[in-house]
Every structure is written in structure tokens, then in C-alpha cells.
Structure 1
């Protein structure tokens, strides 16, 4: 069972639970999950779906033939039944999902992934009891995941919701199925992330979980588009990937190649791993991927990531360096042998950013085989710089999360990074990828600041006496801030209050001050926002 900050309409899932009521009204934010022909009535407070209940059941499957299935769940408690009624609805919905037969999970996952929001916290019966709901809902979801044999992602959008859920998980033991050495690694990396010492390198393996091609598949897709005859296509397999790409680029021409890159690697659904990585309290990201999925996942939880070198980095804001180009700028993509060679001489400034991170941070490598020529060159340069004159000693500058054991590759890189495998060499790649997600989920739980909901009135019930007293004093400070505060001191205080959850909830009739809200304000009921 995962807890993640994301947008359920863009998270790659097999099944998604969408809240509704007896009139089958849903918030417009859920429309991407519903066929247009099913929308019968559009209103300001939501749209009605052209289906009907057959009795007192609370779950309806939305017709469709795509890989992702949507389920409507009645979460509006008109009878005052309380939290137990909402929990029973979650159980009923997950049991209905389990009865649906599927040929295989989306994009080759080891298990189906079912996504749902915190049911009942908007129009439903738990609008003012989010803390109590999380404390009771999380065990129900863990039990359902174990009973039905699929994975469940509780998807939240508000920083205070995520912080509160992670606190509940730490107190309940979230049930992460990991061996002791991976739990210890999660604690170490979580501590580094909390202290601002961790940076992330995201490789192609992460985007493969969202259906994007690896190098081998990319070459095959390019060959199909180019129309090469069978003899030449067979010969491609004997060439290094960059040389295969060079031949195909020549066949296609620059215009067709750029159009293909822009189309194939453009915006789309992101994988669970993208969301788990984007949730981490990390400010510096580096990738060799062309797609925008990391920055999309980050933006869906209010983190506006600056993409380098196309945008200017800003103090205090996270950034993502795209070493090998961006699909939004297809002319920048590094794909062929010639482009790799040119990058080696002209990309020194970009490589220097990764040099700096390896020297000043601990870099966590996810989804990369560490065979990229540029990575090898950069690691060698950093190793040389770190060696003490005359002693020949150096330190490891990062951790590689590999799917399967590869003793030779681990030995090759042992002077630079620690390589940690998710499974033995003969293990299932899909199961190894799932274990990586579980590890990232635990790192995220351990690194989430425990104070992110302190000033959110929806979670007052989770505070102890000392925390309540502190929250009361801080609310007095918030009330003293001028509405149009613009001084440096006022903005610093406002930022601190926001990070402590002030303005995260409109519960109890409170209107969050605009200057304390992270990103554009969303006036929809919290449960009815995507995720």
C-alpha cells in the first residue's frame, strides 16, 4: 500500500476510484477519467454521469475498453453513519475491483495498481475528520491489498494531507515488505533527504514504467518509422545504440526525427515511481530522459520545477537538469553517436552541474544502468578531483538502486558509488521494479517533514497538548501578518507558516490567505480535487 502526492487523473493506474453521491454527480476535475458521452448534465458544482444505481450498492463500474478502469463510489453520507460507513464503502469498492479480470497490469507492473483519494473528505461524511479517517483508512487499505493481491495507492494533493498520512504510517508501521538492509538504506537516504543532502538522478528505467521506450525499443520504433528493409533492420542489432540511432536519423531526416521525439516523449501519464521521486524533499534533479514526467509529477503537488538549461534557476525553487535534451525542444536531444561526441566537448557546463552535485551532495541514481558514456566520464573526473594528493583515497558520492544483482558492474563502480540491488540476478524484473517502488515509498515516508499539518485545522485532533499550544501561538502570528505583506521578514514568516500547514485547508469555514498558499488556490472541496 503506497501513499503518494499526485494527480489521479495523470497517475498511471489499472483502476481508479472516483467519489460521487446518489445522484451520480462528480466534480469536473475528474472528467479526464470519464467518457464524454456519459456526461448528461453540467453544473457549476459538478457534472452528472449517465448511469444509474440498481439498488443500494455503492460502487459502479464506468463502461470502457481502455487499460484503465474507473469506478464511481458513493461517499456522501446523508444518513450520518460516520466513518465506519465510509470504510465499508472502500472495502466494497476494492472487492468489486478485485472481481474484474485483467490480462496483465499496465506497462508490465508485477501487480495491478488501484488509485483512490481520501474518500469522504470533501462532500462526504469525513469532511471535518480527516485525521481520524486516515488513522482508520490506512489499515483498511493495507488489509485489502493483502487480501486481493494488488497494490493500492492512496493519492493526496495537499502537503498537510501527505504529512499527516505519513505520520500515521510511521506510528502504525506501514507494512513495507523489505529486507532489513533495504530498510536501513531507506533510513539513511530519508535522513539525507530531510537534511537537504540528497540529489536525484533519474534514468530511462523510471519512464519505462510509464510506457516510454528504453534504448532498445526506441531504436526499434525508429526503424519501423523509417521503413528500413529487413536486412538493414537485422543489422541494427549488431551496432551500438548510438550508431543505430545515427543510421536511423539519417534515414528519417532531422524534421521527422524531431517530430517523432516531440510526439513520443511528450506529456502523458506518469508512473508511480515518478510521483514518489517528485514527492521527496529534494531540490536538485538530473536526468538523461527527454520526457517531462518528473516535472509534471512535481507540478501536480505544487512544486514548480525549473528545467535547466531552458529556464533560469531561482533561489529556493527545485530544478531539473536535462543532460541529453528535452522533448519540448527536440532539436536539443542527444541521440546519435555524433551528438554524444559533441556533448563531450560542448556540454561541459551541463556536466559541471552534475560534477558539483557529486562533490556536494549524495546523489541517488534511479532507473539507470550506469553505462552511459557521459556518466562514466563525469564519474571519472569527480573521482580524480576527490583523490587526496599522494594518498589515492576517495569517497563514494552516491547510491545506485539497481533492479538486479550484477557483481561485475557493482565492482566496476565501487570506487564511486554503492550499488544496491532489489533482487538476485535471476529475479523477476517486474518484482524488482515493484520492490524499488516500495523502497522509494518508505524513503518518502521517512523524509516527509512531520510538522506539515501543524496549522491545518482539519488535523487538530492529531496534535498532542504541546503541539496544540504551539499551533495556537503560531495562528496568532498568522493573524498578525498584514494582508498585503511584502517585506522580506513578512514573506519569510508567511513561508514558514505555509510549510507548517497554514492555508492548506478551508475546513471550519476558514479562507486561506492567498499569500500563504503554495501555488494557485483551488476552491473545490478537497475530496473532489484530483487525488
Structure 2
């Protein structure tokens, strides 16, 4: 089985993966902003001992190879196996054309070192399936190499094209996945534009690729809302609803066993009583849930891809804060988390229907919680119903067995009749009966793939979301000349004219500039800021 290249907005220190690539130079100069990814904390960054500290990571053959795995004598908190690659350029030309040629020569050398590092990583990681990560295929995280301190910033588009091609060629021959983490919004847009122009990596999705395009159009038009279930957080190693109940039950001595046919709500109700009777510091089921989930702070590929869709309204039944962290890493630090926060105009919000790990008393899990939900949380249900009536709701990672959501949906269906589909449900497998049950109300897509199970299905879901994010990405790179070589010969002069128009509008006095506000907003995509 071939691997897959994901492209997403993320920070390496926050992404759940199996190994990471950290850029440096021939002298093993590791910049302080990589401290969190190395697990050594921001407090060490920029200190007098910083370079002495990171020197302990230096691979044994660094001077000869200029790539390699971090030394075994590393900081004990280093979270993931780490490889370093020299990404700096060392030659220069005498003129612009000569300068670009020299940069491309150095880029070829950089990519050769990356391929050799990936070969080492594949040899170590291949065969590690369903381990702590629960992934069917190992995942390597790679940043956009060389475009900052490496000196390749002026050929940013060429770096993106060649880095993407190198990774795609490698995974085609190896059973591992690569996540290219683009921190800057313009880099992410350039990667996605290049993939749209030359994409062959999503062919396995078949007809589902058309559905990804349709949903992407909804996202671009601002008509898409999200409903996120436990299946999304499973991509980061958190348990399903049933899995969480199993873990909470095992943590107690002599937990009575209910029938295999018992509802999860009744299983949770029993656990709530047992935890209350235990009389310890964790004498509440909500606190036990918090203890299990709150320490997990690395989001999965699915979180990053969903956060990159630019959706303003989202609802989740998850208690964790992984979607919030993924949104913050893509420039949405002002995300309002309802019901506690206050929304701001034009800023995104997330409604947490079943509580949050920061407030154990808010967690909804038991039969009693669900029975009293409407009385306690009626306004939250109204928000969900407003989304169902006004937007297209994309349901991801939910089995559609949540009693609260089903009641809200059926009330909207009874009110609207069959005026339109309320949304799309992305799941692993779907039977004909379920499709018939929801026909005209929700569109069901089973993207798990025939003959796949468990973590392999979760990976297929992530590949679908990767296609969706690729098609939904706005062209935030068009006004930056450093990406111009990614454009066709016909589009390049048009982009140049757009840059000139944007510059002319910015040069107007404030009164005249207001006449061109809408045009300026369409042109003035942020170029070198984190994702927005």
C-alpha cells in the first residue's frame, strides 16, 4: 500500500505524529523557535545555554551527512523521534538569473538530504501499526523547509513545488504518510494550488472526490458548518465513546458488568454511581473524564484539516480542546467557545454541546444527563437547529446515535418538511437501509473503503478531508511574486496586474480608498502572516 501526503496548517509541536523533521544548517544551528517541537520548552530558547543544550541532539555523523536522527543522548522530554536536515543554501550568483540558478542547485542538494532522511525514517517506522498512535500507517511531519532562515525565500514557489513532489514520490514507494505542515497561510495556499493543478494522490476516493469538491464549494461560499463527533478526536489517539466507558470502568475495582446490549447511556449512569460511591478525590464521573482527556494536547490530522476549511460555525459533542488548538494555530485565536464565551462579529465560534474538560461538572455522558438536557440546555439546541435550517451541516466522526442531536434534527425535519437536505454525514461505512432512512434529509458518504477496518478507515477519512481542504483553500498566495512560478504563463501577467492594482488602491488617500473597499478586500489576501 502506498502512503499519502497530507498538506495542512499546523505547528509541529502540536500535531500528533510518529516522527518529525527539524531544519538546521551545516553547523547544526537549531533556531530557538523549534524548542517546543523538541520538547525542551520556551524557557530555554534564546538563553546563554541554548546552543549548548541543542548540541546534545546532534546526530553522530552530522559533519559527514548533514542529516540524521537526533542523538540518543537527548532531553528526556523530547516527544517524538526527531531527524534533522541541513536546509541552508551556501552558494550565490553574480546576477538575478545566476542567483536563481545557484538557489535551485542548493535546493536539489537539500531535497537529496531530505530523501535520505526519509529513507532512514521509513526503515525505522515501517511496520509500526496500531501502536500508541492507533494509526495504520506511520505519520511523519515535515515543515516547509528552507524558506525562512534557510535562504530559499525568494524562490518560495519552487521550494513548495519540489518539496511536494519529493514527498509524493517517496510515499508512492513506501508505506508511510507525510504531513507537510505549512505555518504561513500563503505557503498553505500555494501547496494546495499546486496540488489542485497536478493532483493524482486522491484517485482512490473515486466518486467521493466529487462530493469533496461540492462540500469545498459550500465552504468557499460560507455556507458550510461543522458537527464534530468522537471519531475526529480518535485521529489524535483519544478513545471513542464506548472506548472511554471501557477505560473508566477498568479504572474502578470490581465494576459490575451490564449486558452487552445495554445502552452506553446506562453504562455511563452505572459508572457515575460507582465513582460517587468511591468517595475519593475523583468522586465524579466528570472528573474522571477530565483526568483521562485533559492531558492529551496534540491534535490529529483531521483536526488540522477541518480547522483549515475556514468554517465560521462549528458544533461538537467532544470534551477535549483539540479543535480549538488547531484553530488557534491557523490564526483563529479569537475563536469563541460557547456557551461560556461571547461571540464577536465576523469571528468564528464553536459550540460544545456536551461540556468541556475545563469544567468537569458540565460533561454530559449519562442517561440522567441526556434526560435533563433539554431543560438545562435548550438555547444550545436552538443554535444547532438554526445551523440546520440556514447552512449545510457537515457531520464528521459521529455515528448519528446521539439522542440530543437526533431530536433536534427531527424537529427541524418536521418543521421544514423535505424542503432541502440539511447536511452531509461522513462515516466509514454506510448500508442501504441507513441511506434510505435519511434520504432527502442527510446525504450519507461512506469513505472508509471496502474491506478496511479500524485505523485504516480513520486514515481513509483523513484522506477525504485532505481532498476537501485542498479544494476549499483560497488563493492567498496570488499577490506574492515569490510564488509566481507556480502560475501558468497566462495567469502570471494577470497576477502582476493584480499586484499593481492592489498597490495603487493602497496609495490612495483614505477617502478615495473607501470607494474600492470591496475590490481591496478581494485582492488583499494576507501574505506572510499565520493562517487567516
Specify the TM-score bucket, using the shorter chain as the normaliser: 0.7 to 0.9
Please list the CA deviations of residues 348-405 of structure 1 after superposition, one character each: whole Å capped at 9, or x if unmatched.
2111111111111111110010011012111110110112xxxxx4432111111013
Does structure 2 retain, via aligned residues, the 8 Å contact 1:291–1:327? yes
Does structure 2 retain, via aligned residues, the 8 Å contact 1:27–1:45? no
**Which aligned pairs between 1:164-179 and structure 2 lie closer than 5 A?**
164-179=190-205
SS for the counterpart of 1:418 is strand
Distance (whole Å) between structure 1 residues aligned to residue 450 and residue 371 of structure 2:
33
> Which residue is equivalent to 1:459?
483
> Which residue is equivalent to 2:99?
none
> Which residue is equivalent to 1:286?
315
**Which aligned pairs between 1:4-15 and structure 2 lie closer than 5 A?**
4-15=8-19
> Which residue is equivalent to 1:148?
174
Distance (whole Å) between structure 2 residues aligned to residue 488 and residue 368 of structure 1:
47
Structure 2 counterpart of 1:48, from 50, 54, 58: 54
Distance (whole Å) between structure 2 residues aligned to residue 472 and residue 49 of structure 1:
47
> Which residue is equivalent to 1:385?
415
Structure 2 counterpart of 1:245, from 268, 272, 275: 268
Structure 1 counterpart of 2:109, from 73, 85, 106: 85
Shift of residue 492 of structure 1? Answer: 6.4
Shift of residue 480 of structure 1? Answer: 5.1
**Structure 1 unmatched ranges of 5 or more:** 388-392, 506-516, 520-531
**Structure 2 unmatched ranges of 5 or more:** 93-104, 277-281
Does structure 1 retain, via aligned residues, the 8 Å contact 2:319–2:352? yes
TM-score (norm 2): 0.85
Distance (whole Å) between structure 2 residues aligned to residue 52 and residue 184 of structure 1:
46
| CA 375–36 in structure 1, closer or farther in 2 if over 3 Å, else same | closer
Does structure 1 retain, via aligned residues, the 8 Å contact 2:138–2:176? yes
TM-score (norm 1): 0.86
> Which residue is equivalent to 1:95?
119
**Which aligned pairs between 1:108-123 and structure 2 lie closer than 5 A?**
108-123=134-149
Matched, 1:372 2:397: no
SS for the counterpart of 2:168 is helix
Matched, 1:16 2:20: yes
SS for the counterpart of 1:108 is coil
> Which residue is equivalent to 1:301?
330
SS for the counterpart of 2:65 is coil
Shift of residue 295 of structure 1? Answer: 0.9
SS for the counterpart of 2:12 is coil
> Which residue is equivalent to 1:320?
350
| CA 437–424 in structure 1, closer or farther in 2 if over 3 Å, else same | closer
Shift of residue 422 of structure 1? Answer: 1.5
Distance (whole Å) between structure 2 residues aligned to residue 309 and residue 491 of structure 1:
38
Distance (whole Å) between structure 2 residues aligned to residue 494 and residue 297 of structure 1:
30
Structure 2 counterpart of 1:30, from 29, 34, 53: 34
Shift of residue 10 of structure 1? Answer: 0.9
Matched, 1:60 2:68: yes
Shift of residue 411 of structure 1? Answer: 2.8
Shift of residue 337 of structure 1? Answer: 0.8
Does structure 1 retain, via aligned residues, the 8 Å contact 2:449–2:460? no
**Which aligned pairs between 1:156-305 and structure 2 lie closer than 5 A?**
156-227=182-253, 229=254, 232=256, 234-235=257-258, 237-253=260-276, 255-266=283-294, 268-304=297-333, 305=335
Distance (whole Å) between structure 2 residues aligned to residue 425 and residue 76 of structure 1:
45
Aligned residue pairs, count: 494
Shift of residue 269 of structure 1? Answer: 0.5
| CA 481–161 in structure 1, closer or farther in 2 if over 3 Å, else same | farther
